[in-house]
Structure 1
Amino acid sequence: MFSKIGKLIFENEAVAKTSDFTMGIEVEMHRIDDLGNLSQEPYPASIGDEKTNNWITTDFTETMSEIVTPPAAYSLDAMHYLYGINNVLRSSLAPGELLWPLSMPPKLPKDTSHIRLAQWGPEKEAYLKEWARRHRFAEGMPCGIHINLSVDQHIIELVLKNFPDRFKTELEAKNYLYEILAQGFVRYRWLITYLFGASPIAEENYFDNDFKLEHPVRSVRQSSVGFGNKFAGDYTNVQAYVDRITRGVKEKILIKDYEFHGPVRFKGNPVLQELPKTGAEYIELRMLDLDPSSSVGIRTDTLRFIRLLASYLIMSPALKPGEVNRVLKQADQMNEEVATEHPLSTCKYQNKARALIRSLELYANQIQLGPEYQEILDDLEDRVENAKTTPSARLLAYIKDDSLEEYALRRARRYQRAAQESILKFDGFEDRQYSAKELKQALFRGNWDPNLGRR
């Protein structure tokens, strides 16, 4: 059932625009040595300065490399950018260095004091040291995929024009659409964890000696023993979101506002308190594990599914403001239950998963998306019916002595060889920075044009 906004979009034959999200991808991976230890090599010189490079940087530690793609109009274009920049990073590694392909970090030393935090200047380094002091150091080490989504401007203008009594300004209409998206993705995060969770165990020394998982799970990273703090956001609206984080900093629950590591973040202004006035420009989705079956950590089909789900959420009725926190608190609990289920077990919420996948199939047929989307949904329906086909369950076959190290190293070496065999070579960022337009030319040299409309 479409909402009033959804009906408006459908009747104006603008449905295609709801799936025309501009997308950017951020991928974190640790640099390791050939034995599976965190690398002792310095940040690769040919990448330039991690503080100023827009496309390859570091996160929590100096070993945690982060690739950031330029915004792209289509899933396939975003993936080509990701592959290109990923090859640049791999070709910049020191001899013997690899990229660890799993979300949970490689084996950690018992003494983590010698691991270098990311070199981001005095203020950020002070924040990271304080974070490490307040938390278990290992909790900052998991890696993942972040997807940035921005709504097509045509949809914002259409909604503003046709609901003048509800939205007085473009800012109000824009923020509302991003609020719908944020609420929807948090609400159905548990399904994303089930379908794409790929961290069934943690490697040596991730947990303290007095803790051990009772059994493999769907996603350590997406569970309460995984990444980050447990501070819950308020997604009722952008103002409530900002107020909640600001209060967390004031009460010293959070060190800085950017310590908020919720499954979704509103983005658009570097000064958080100004965000309600200037408006959200995109949302950042933070609930995807690395997919070790892909050299870049994510598959095109996964990105297309996220695009489809976002389109569906914009067209569907929104939660009532007074219900948002209650429903999303329940959704957080559902995600914890799903994340900690055994990967081979039938999901507790299988019937809900079936219903949502079926709704997405009906929606995809209504808006006449291509056959590739039907194939994606067919595959995901199989995952719902048979837990053995989920990524986390598939990884169980490779666990040896409570470790995935052998599997991860085999994958890492394979991906490194493939990158080194790439025909097109890019000189890197040692001497200069590149705009998005310059980066496209440097990476593809006319062999790929990210503007031809391939979803």
Structure 2
Amino acid sequence: MNVNKNLLNFLKSQPTSYFAGFNRGIEKEALRIHASGKLATSQHPKGLGSALTHDYITTDYAESLVEFITPVEQNAQTSIQQLLDLHKFAYQNQGEELLWPMSMPCFVGSEDDIEIAKYGTSNIGKMKTLYRQGLKNRYGSYMQAISGVHFNFSFPDSFWQAWASSQGKVANQSSIDEGYLAILRNLKRNLWLLAYLFGASPALCSSFLNGKSTPYPMQKIGKGTLYLPYATALRLSDLGYTNKAQAALNIRYNQLDDYIAGLRHAIRMPSADFASISAKPGDYQQLNQNVLQIENEYYSPVRPKRVTESGEKPTDALERAGIQYIELRALDIDPFNPAGMSVEQVRFLDLLITWCALTDSPDIEREDESIIAENLQQVILYGRKPDLLLEKNSKPIALTQWSTQILAELDDLAKIFDGDTQGVYHQALMAQQAKIENPDLTPSGKIMSHLLEHNLDNGSFGLQLAKQYRNESFERDFHHFTQTQLEQESKDSELRQQSIENADELDFDTFLTQYFGSSLSD
């Protein structure tokens, strides 16, 4: 790829302190489990406050699926320590329950064991729960119990001013939108690299399949763990958090207006697959019978984002004020880190996202999508296989060769970020280069080596780590939050939920009609 030399020169002219100005936020999910390793069926712990309104701790699909949210932060170490603080606070308020440290779920007996998250009696709370009821009826609950890490990132305004100048454009929101979309396209092209380096779901509990057949030649280890010998991230495969029907939506990141229009089209397009699921007042089983109930149902591994105002839909926020940050959703939980993510990984992502901004990013057309998807699929299923070939510029290329090429370009950036010394960014990069040279050093490789060496179930390994991390959390002090601060936030969140419930004046049917408005009509 061609590099934007003007923008590169701008970065070279900046002091190393400039690269501490990147904005990041992390959303990390974790299932609450019993000490036996089974899914917890208890309600969201009262000490964690309201899942509807808590600033830092909520739930995702299931009542037992906790989500930790760090505030926007410019120090990578601080973000990870905030995650650890939130984990510690959760442990303090959930009795003997543990937090599952892997992306693929623990043992789940039946779908009924996965209780849908509840958000109170307000209209918005009922809508959030009904949306999840719709997900259960559409795709089943097992898929919704998968956990992951979402990494949110934005550059400072000065970066976008330099980016626009390097392109001969005026620096405004339109050029920022164009720049972020270029990054998103390049991230999509290189998702295979993230799956290889950070994929940590090569195995799963057989209960996840619930007796269903799979097209993959799964092998068995222990009492009930299924795995693929060279897999990296089954979470991203057809077994995991994907939706084949959405591939036909043709939603791409070439133009913001087209992206918005594509999503809006999907939430008003009737779906034959979901037409039999009731969406009638008095018998709601989903929000509506369209391809997407709401925009969040679009399972893209990367997304353009803007913080929404109260009651505002994501596309309305993007249309109102443009892209504010990007969300990378293709990261497995790192089971070897109590926070689920490391500072080293954050620094590598800094380099990769900046590189995606520096390099050419032509539009992605329909035929390109199939190549991107196939490269990702190959790495998901066979990423650690020796001499694995991918497709680049219509030609086969070895994963190791392509990876090494990218990391060589990232090394040029690391020197800029570190100030020509072999500092923290260089170290983060060398840790990834070691994984390319030795697949056993990848998270997926380390997991499989441990399971095979000890003939151990994935669940037993995860349970060992969960107990270890719980014990360590009680020995660790709070770093950035304080216990008093988090306790107060829990109390305040309960009051905020009550305020929302007390302010409701519309019945639920009218609320839904007004919320969707023109979105569900032509």
- What band does the TM-score fall into relative to the shorter chain? 0.7 to 0.9
Are 1:353 and 2:403 an aligned pair? yes
> 1:207-356 counterparts in 2 under 5 A?
207-212=209-214, 213-215=216-218, 216=228, 217-230=231-244, 231-232=246-247, 233-251=251-269, 252-270=290-308, 271-274=313-316, 275-319=318-362, 321=363, 323-341=364-382, 343=384, 345-348=386-389, 349-356=399-406
> In structure 2, which of residues 428, 440, 449 is the aligned counterpart of residue 397 of structure 1?
449
Q: Does the CA contact (< 8 Å) of 1:200 and 1:392 recur in 2?
A: yes
The aligned counterpart of 1:445 is: none
For 2:189 and 2:15, locate their aligned partners in 1 and report how far apart those are by CA, in whole Å: 25
Alpha-carbon shift at residue 22 of structure 1 (Å): 0.1
Decide whether the 8 Å contact of 1:236 with 1:325 is kept in 2. Answer: no
What secondary structure does 1:180 align onto? helix
CA contact (8 A) 2:435 2:441 kept: yes
SS in 2 for 1:66: strand
Aligned equivalents of 1:247 and 1:14: distance in 2? 45
Deviation at 1:21, TM superposition (A): 1.8
Gaps in structure 1 of 5+ consecutive residues: 435-455
Report the RMSD for the aligned CA atoms in angstroms. Answer: 2.4
Partner letter of residue 300 of structure 1? V
State percent identity of aligned pairs: 22
Are 1:166 and 2:191 counterparts? Answer: no
Asked if the contact 1:18–1:314 (Cα under 8 Å) also holds between the matched residues in 2, the reply is: no
2:202 alignment counterpart:
200
The 1-side partners of 2:140 and 2:456 are apart by: 21
Instruction: Note closer, same or farther for the CA distance 1:188–1:40 as it changes in structure 2 (3 Å cut).
Output: same
Deviations 1:209-267 (A, max 9, x none): 13244242211101122114232431112222222222222222222111012011111
C-alpha displacement at 1:361, in angstroms? 1.4
Structure with greater Cα Rg = 2
Q: Are the counterparts in 2 of residues 140 and 228 from structure 1 also a CA contact under 8 Å?
A: no
Helix, strand or coil at the partner of 2:24: strand
**Is the 1:17–1:154 Cα contact (8 Å) retained in structure 2?**
no
Cα distance change of structure 1 residues 368 and 297 upon mapping to structure 2, 3 Å threshold: closer
Aligned length: 428
| Greater alpha carbon shift after TM alignment, 18-27 vs 218-227 | 18-27
Give the deviation of 1:324 after TM superposition. Answer: 4.9
2:98 corresponds in structure 1 to: 98
Aligned partner of 2:152 in structure 1 is 148
| Residue equivalent to 1:444 | none
Question: Are the aligned partners of 2:7 and 2:162 in contact in 1 as well (CA < 8 Å)?
Answer: no
Distance 1:389 1:76 in 2: 23
Q: TM-score with structure 2 length normalisation?
A: 0.77
Deviation at 1:305, TM superposition (A): 0.3
What letter is aligned with 2:106? P
CA pair 50-172 structure 1, distance change in 2 beyond 3 A: same
TM-score, L = length of structure 1: 0.87
Distance 2:56 2:469 in 1: 20
**CA 42–25 in structure 1, closer or farther in 2 if over 3 Å, else same:** same
State the Cα deviation string for residues 93-141 of structure 1 (Å, max 9, x = none): 12x20000010000111x3124311113211111111111111321111
For structure 2, the residue ranges without an aligned partner over 5 or more in a row are: 120-124, 219-227, 270-289, 390-398, 495-522
Instruction: Name which of 354, 360, 365 aligns with 2:415.
Output: 365
Structure 1 residue 200: Cα displacement:
0.7
